[in-house]
Amino acid sequence: MPGERPPHLRWSMLGLVALGGAIGTAVRALLAEAFPAHDGISWTILAINVVGAFCLGLLLEALAHRGPDVGRRRTFRLVVGTGVLGGFTTYSTLADDTAQLLDAGHWTAGGGYALLTVVLGLLAVGAGVLLAGAVRPKRAVRPKRAVRSKGGAQ
């Protein structure tokens, strides 16, 4: 609609993103507490970031195949993609964990942890995109119209 405010300037959308973010952050915090870091490496955070990347790739590709980013699709993308998955995944914890490992002199572990997270995240988002593309809704196929020749025979 002409004159309509963009989603990032609407309080209702901001509230939905914040709600989704609170949910994602709470789930991440519960998982991180249930499965603490081992020898300074948080395998739980690595798994959370990789699973989140996969889910985001799957979500965005699936929504893209269903039509333009408007209405319910946009709301769903903002709540689940930006909100829930944005709160669930965490670059800041990855950076902090890596910095702590490096600061403690564990250069191989710190560098490996950061690199592994990024590489697995890229592979996961690619897998999510591929999966969504493979299971996208099929468009209705129109039957071909019969073509009549001028001679009357078909």
Q: Label residues 6-30 b or e (16+ Cβ within 10 Å = b).
A: ebeeeeebeebbeebbebbbeebee
Q: Report the distance separating Cα 129 and Cα 64, nearest Å.
A: 10
- Identify whether 54 is part of a domain: yes
**Average pLDDT value for residue range 6-21:** 86
Give yes or no for residue 63 having a pLDDT over 90.
Answer: yes
And the tokens for 73? 């699709």
- Identify whether 2 is part of a domain: no
- Identify whether 22 is part of a domain: yes
Name every residue whose Cβ is closer than 8 Å to that of residue 31 and which is 6 or more positions away in sequence.
44, 48
- Identify whether 154 is part of a domain: no
pLDDT value of residue 2:
59
- Identify whether 102 is part of a domain: yes
Confidence of residue 151 (pLDDT cuts 50, 70, 90): low
- Identify whether 49 is part of a domain: yes
Tell me the pLDDT tens digit for each residue of 107-144. Answer: 999 999 999 999 999 999 999 999 999 987 766 445 56
Q: Report the distance separating Cα 132 and Cα 63, nearest Å.
A: 9
**How large a percentage of the chain has pLDDT more than 70?**
86
Name every residue whose Cβ is closer than 8 Å to that of residue 131 and which is 6 or more positions away in sequence.
58
- Identify whether 58 is part of a domain: yes
pLDDT value of residue 19:
96
Domain hosting residue 34, numbered range: 7-134
For residue 44, the tally of other CB atoms under 10 A from its CB is 18
- Identify whether 143 is part of a domain: no
What's the structural domain count of the chain?
1
Lowest mean pLDDT segment, chosen from 41-45, 105-109, 145-149: 145-149
Please provide the average confidence, as pLDDT, over all residues in the chain. Answer: 88
